[in-house]
């Protein structure tokens, strides 16, 4: 069996040059993605079309030889699969019918999640089959949104805010919010286990809005549910590694790392990688955290930032990535130049 660098790193072993992939690599900046997106007609049509979604997932692997293939999907497919109405407003992003009380929560249908999300699991199977057929060293990474971040969208019905309403609700009605987080925790476990059954080799949990919380709320609504998900996954599939990405966690990153049981932690753009290297257990893989804007700019700035990151991470388990998703205006030649630099060691 071919050795896969990302899986080696997530087992706690340093690999140099480090493996590399990029968040949101499947789409956005690639002309082949834009053509496939036009063929699908809408984002939701694309996500739920296994043939096209698998094609998009594989496009950056074919073009760049990425060490990771991240499933092309969306963190809001879990509430969608449970029956919450989801649609996309062109140029503005996702919209959902808000859930703000027990009646709205009771209307969700978690028992129907696997059936509704079956096209997504078929996408995973198609990608895994294609990678196996090519004898690829690329690791197939499944994912879900973490409960707190998904709850932000479910309660407010949209993104693009600081989610004041959600944070107020967590303080003012913790019984309701705890129930919502519990539903999402259980649903996320089921959703991720189905991805594993379909062929995912590693998993990632995206908590994009975790940094909005105070330390006590972070521990309750981010660390505790994440740890519960990790325990359930480890019980069912102990060999499968999981990467957590608590964006804007700041110094809470160390607490997150020690208490969640993750094999890897994603660093956001604002995180000082040298601080992370000093405060996160040395056997735990770090992933990140090049600024997507410097990738878009390119040139000396890109080379300087990339070399600094590589220097900070040398000697420990590390996956080179961005600190957030790749910008859609990013020139392909800048990505190619970065990969050449990283792979040159």
Enumerate the active-site residues: 24, 28, 37, 74, 153
Cα gap 226→245, rounded to integer Å: 10
Q: Please name which of 141, 144, 155 lies closest in space to residue 113, comparing C-alpha atoms.
A: 144
Look up residue 215 and give its two tokens: 């330390």
Cα gap 345→339, rounded to integer Å: 10
Residues 6+ away with beta carbon under 8 Å from 34: none
Tell me how long the chain is: 345
Residues 6+ away with beta carbon under 8 Å from 20: 66, 67, 68, 319, 320, 321, 339, 342, 343
Q: Please name which of 210, 198, 82 lies closest in space to residue 145, comparing C-alpha atoms.
A: 210
In three-state secondary structure terms, 322 is: strand
Which residue(s) pair with 115 in the sheet?
none
| Contact predicate 126/108, CB 8 Å | no
Q: Please name which of 150, 16, 136 lies closest in space to residue 94, comparing C-alpha atoms.
A: 150
Q: Is the peptide bond before 208 cis (omega within 30 degrees of 0)?
A: no
């Amino acid at each position: 069996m071919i050795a896969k660098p990302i899986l080696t790193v997530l087992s706690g072993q340093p690999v140099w040059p480090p493996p590399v992939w990029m968040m949101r690599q499947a789409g956005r900046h690639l002309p082949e993605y834009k053509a496939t997106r036009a063929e699908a007609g809408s984002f939701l049509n694309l996500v739920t079309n296994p043939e096209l979604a698998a094609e998009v997932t594989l496009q950056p692997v074919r073009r760049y030889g990425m060490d990771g293939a991240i499933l092309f999907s969306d963190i809001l497919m879990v509430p969608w699969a449970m029956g919450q109405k989801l649609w996309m407003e062109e140029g503005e992003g996702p919209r959902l019918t808000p859930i703000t009380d027990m009646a709205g929560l009771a209307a969700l249908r978690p028992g129907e999640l696997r059936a509704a999300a079956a096209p997504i699991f078929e996408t995973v199977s198609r990608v895994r089959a294609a990678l196996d057929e090519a004898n690829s060293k690329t690791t197939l990474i499944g994912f879900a949104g973490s409960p707190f971040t998904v709850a932000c969208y479910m309660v407010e019905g949209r993104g693009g805010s600081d989610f004041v309403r959600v944070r107020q609700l967590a303080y003012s009605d913790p019984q309701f919010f705890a129930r919502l987080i519990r539903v999402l925790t259980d649903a996320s476990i089921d959703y991720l286990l189905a991805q594993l059954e379909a062929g995912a080799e590693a998993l990632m949990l995206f908590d994009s809005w975790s940094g909005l919380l105070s330390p006590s709320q972070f521990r309750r609504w981010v660390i505790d549910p994440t740890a519960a998900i990790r325990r359930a996954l480890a019980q069912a599939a102990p060999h499968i590694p999981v990467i957590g990405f608590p964006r804007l966690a700041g110094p809470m990153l160390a607490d997150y790392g020690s208490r969640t049981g993750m094999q890897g932690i994603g660093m956001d753009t604002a995180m000082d990688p040298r601080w992370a290297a000093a405060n996160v257990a040395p056997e735990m893989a770090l992933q990140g955290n090049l600024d997507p804007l410097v990738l878009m700019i390119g040139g000396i700035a890109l080379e300087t930032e990339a070399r600094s990151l590589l220097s900070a991470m040398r000697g420990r388990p590390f996956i080179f990535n961005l600190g957030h998703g790749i910008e859609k205006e990013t020139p392909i030649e800048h990505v190619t130049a970065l990969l050449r630099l990283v792979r040159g060691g």
